[in-house]
């Protein structure tokens, strides 16, 4: 199956074509980037369709078979992640046209935008640990540069803070890879998984897993390590905030952690209940602490940044519950939160573009002047809070169902009760920016910005109403791919042997 490498080759090639295009015809860059993002979206849909029939597609780089060469292992979970990434990349690129127009050096923005896409796509399709690290660094370095893109004092400070935290995480991951290589003499995820079974649950096993989880916790901003996110995400240009909060933290932190816990280390609630209880604890701590902190924020984007820390906790909660419904709920929540938070950050960009400020105390009365933005914000909020029939409701419902089935009735109650926090901090924005009477000067959002927002609103509604097919065709297979655990290794070697 030769379409697999296209997922990162396409954006990587685009990233290197854009500087040349910038010299010849500047106006073409945006069209080019949007076309590439749309092509990725179509490719991801095709990938999702193919994985309906084949559980695992392996692409061997340079035709070297798995334990020796680098492989790309594409299963339902990868297909799901590529789909979510490409949705947000497409919406962000459409939105960028007018938002970026007042910055200088637009081609640099779009080059970095394509590099960050290539990095994320690479992480989710690779089947090799060191390759995963390289793609992780490609995505991370581009994101540091994009956070500092405005080169104002605050943006540089946020970028440096983010860089220090992110690199500590990245280097801890590299150290864990070194230790793992010393023990297993291989870098292939499937082969590592086989070797680790011979090692058993020794202190070494837990040390390496702990270091990796520490690295991923920093990357996805769980509560003791979250301090960089509320600075870095607001500092970035709005389409980038949308991409970073919407999907970046989940690819770098959640996808990698889930893949390594379930498929490589072969853990499940049955054989490591203590670890999964810790995951539930981390999730709850993030939801509660960041949710309360968000209530006192006065900056539109900073509030949304704290909200992201809080919402990612729900995903960890779902993975921590560890049964089919919990994991499927967590995966569904990745989709729901990506769409909703991506949309909310786009509305913040639209407001900043029209008024030039994101201070909640200075904004007022935009509900009538910018009706598309206001209604997009409302739909996004309703999905994030978890009201039916939007996509966020069904994700939360699956997580609660998982908690009930696992015998944690109290957890389901707490998870729903903590939605009140989400409701109250989002109402704060709704009240001060859109509902309150006021005379803030603002024009309607430009056409391309409205297109990008409406695209995400439509997805939130359509995927919410069609939740049954989403669960059956996309989320369910992805959850099964994770819960299949150590079967992952056999599938990779088996698929490589038959040439899929």
Partner 1 sequence: MIIFLSCIILFLIGLYAIVTKRNLLKIVIGFALVEYAINLLFALIGFRSGMLAPIITQVDAPHRFVDPIPQALVLTAIVIALGTTALMLTVVLRIYNRYKTFDIAEIRKLKG
Nearer to partner 1, 45 or 145 (CB): 145
Selection from 244, 243, 239, 245 nearest residue 96 by Cα: 239
* CA angle (284 as vertex; 278, 285 as ends), nearest 5: 90
Closer residue to partner 1 in complex, CB, 80/144 = 144
Give the residues lining the site for partner 1 (CB under 8 A).
130, 134, 137, 141, 144-145, 148, 151-154, 156-161, 163-164, 167-168, 171, 174-175, 178, 181-182, 185, 187, 231
In the bound state with partner 1, the residue whose beta carbon lies nearer, of 1 and 175, is 175
Helix-helix angle 300-321:391-405, to 10 degrees: 40
Minimal distance in Å, beta carbon 381 to partner 1? Answer: 25
Q: Which is nearer to partner 1, 187 or 328 (CB)?
A: 187
**Smallest gap from residue 23 Cβ to partner 1 (A):** 23
CB of residue 461 vs partner 1: minimum separation in angstroms? 36
- The residues, ordered by sequence, that sit 6+ positions from 146 with a Cβ below 8 Å of its Cβ are 109, 112, 113, 116, 236, 237, 240, 244
> 137 vs 430, which CB is nearer to partner 1?
137
The distance of closest approach from Cβ of residue 96 to partner 1 in the complex, given in angstroms and rounded to an integer, is 22
Residue with smaller CB distance to partner 1, 161 or 201: 161
Distance CA 301, CA 64 (A): 47
Q: Which is nearer to partner 1, 152 or 368 (CB)?
A: 152
For partner 1, the closer of residues 131 and 376 by Cβ is: 131
Closer residue to partner 1 (CB): 184 or 193: 184
CB of 492 to partner 1, least distance (A): 19
Q: How far is the CB of 145 from partner 1 (least distance, A)?
A: 6
């Amino acid at each position: 199956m030769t379409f697999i490498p296209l997922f990162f080759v396409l954006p990587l090639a685009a990233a290197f074509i854009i500087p040349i295009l910038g010299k010849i015809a500047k106006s073409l860059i945006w069209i080019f980037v949007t076309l590439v993002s749309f092509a990725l979206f179509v490719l991801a849909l095709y990938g999702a369709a193919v994985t309906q029939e084949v559980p695992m597609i392996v692409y061997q780089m340079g035709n070297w078979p798995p334990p020796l060469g680098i492989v790309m292992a594409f299963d339902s979970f990868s297909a799901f992640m590529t789909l979510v990434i490409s949705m947000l990349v497409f919406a962000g690129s459409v939105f960028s046209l007018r938002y970026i127009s007042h910055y200088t050096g637009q081609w640099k923005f779009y080059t970095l935008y394509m590099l960050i896409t290539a990095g994320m796509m690479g992480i989710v399709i690779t089947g090799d640990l060191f390759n995963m690290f390289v793609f992780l660094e490609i995505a991370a370095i581009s994101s540091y540069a994009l956070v500092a893109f405005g080169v104002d004092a605050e943006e540089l400070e946020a970028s440096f803070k983010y860089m220090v935290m992110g690199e500590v995480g990245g280097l801890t991951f590299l150290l864990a890879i070194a230790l793992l290589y010393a023990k297993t003499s291989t870098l292939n995820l499937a082969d590592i998984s086989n070797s680790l079974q011979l090692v058993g649950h020794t202190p070494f096993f837990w040390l390496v897993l702990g270091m990796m989880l520490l690295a991923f916790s920093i990357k996805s901003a769980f509560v003791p390590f979250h301090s960089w996110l509320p600075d870095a995400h607001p500092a970035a240009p709005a389409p980038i905030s949308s991409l970073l909060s919407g999907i970046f933290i989940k690819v770098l932190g959640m996808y990698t952690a889930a893949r390594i816990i379930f498929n490589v280390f072969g853990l499940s609630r049955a054989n490591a209940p203590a670890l999964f209880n810790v995951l539930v604890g981390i999730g709850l701590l993030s939801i509660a602490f960041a949710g309360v902190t968000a209530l006192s924020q006065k900056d539109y984007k900073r509030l949304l940044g704290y909200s992201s820390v809080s919402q990612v906790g729900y995903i960890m909660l779902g993975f921590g519950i560890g049964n089919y419904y919990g994991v499927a709920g967590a995966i569904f929540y990745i989709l729901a939160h990506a769409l909703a938070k991506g949309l909310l950050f786009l509305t913040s960009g639209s407001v900043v573009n029209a008024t030039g400020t994101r201070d909640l105390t200075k904004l007022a009365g935009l509900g009538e002047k910018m009706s598309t933005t206001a209604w997009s914000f409302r739909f996004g909020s309703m999905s994030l809070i978890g009201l039916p029939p939007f996509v966020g409701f069904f994700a939360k419902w699956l997580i609660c169902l998982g908690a009930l089935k696992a015998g944690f009735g109290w957890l389901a109650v707490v998870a729903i009760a903590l939605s009140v926090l989400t409701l109250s901090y989002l109402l704060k924005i709704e009240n001060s920016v859109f509902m309150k009477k006021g005379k803030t000067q603002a024009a309607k959002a430009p056409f391309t910005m409205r297109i990008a927002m409406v695209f995400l609103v439509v997805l939130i509604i359509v995927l919410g109403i069609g939740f049954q097919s989403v669960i059956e065709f996309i989320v369910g297979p992805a959850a099964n791919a994770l819960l299949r655990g150590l079967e992952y290794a056999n599938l990779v070697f088996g698929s490589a042997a038959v040439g899929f």
